[in-house]
Amino acid sequence: MPQTKDLSMLKDPHRQFLDYLESHQLKCTTQRLLVLDVMLNSDRHLTVEEAHIIAREFDDGIGLTTVYRTLKLLVEAGLVLSHRYKNDVIHYERADTSKHHDHIICQECGEVLEVVDDDIEKLQEKLAKRHGYALYSHRLYMYGVCPACLDREEE
């Protein structure tokens, strides 16, 4: 599947964030860079609270509001994606377009599973082509109940 035509991800994420802050006349602080590093080093989706807990391991003075506002800036800068899944809780993930994946979300516990399936990718391309579209990007969210929650329901 062709990737998004956004070339911003070819730039170093730190440089991209610094450029964004400068262009919006915002200060580059160590705490903002820490939140960026938390997201860049995460291999899963994080809530604001989870990102805050991780950031506090490196700077116990960082506040939840700072993490929230920085995540918002990272979304605006194109470095992080935000998703609303369960109970209106926002989850954040790196906006790394080279690692495309879809999502299966548990309706019970909110677990997010990242999945890749070549057959689904081909089908999406086929559907777009059938309707005359050149597909550049997509997001697929599937909702269900995870195995752990299914096991709890059976007890």
What is the third-level CATH fold of 1-99? Answer: Arc Repressor Mutant, subunit A (1.10.10)
Cα–Cα distance between 19 and 40 in angstroms, integer? 17
- Residue 147 C-beta-side C-alpha neighbours within 13 Å: 1
Considering the segment(s) 101-155 as one domain, its CATH architecture is 2-Layer Sandwich (3.30)
Task: Flag whether pLDDT at 137 surpasses 90.
Answer: no
34-93 pLDDT tens trace:
999 999 999 888 999 999 999 999 999 999 999 999 999 999 999 999 988 766 789 899
Find residue 91's DSSP bridge partners. 83
For residue 60, the one-letter residue type is D
Instruction: Kindly report the pTM of this predicted structure.
Output: 0.71
- Sign for the CA dihedral angle at 121, 122, 124, 125 comes to positive
> Per-residue pLDDT averaged across 90-98, rounded?
80
Q: Kindly list the domain boundaries of the chain, sorted by start residue.
A: 1-99, 101-155
10 Å Cβ neighbour count for 71?
24
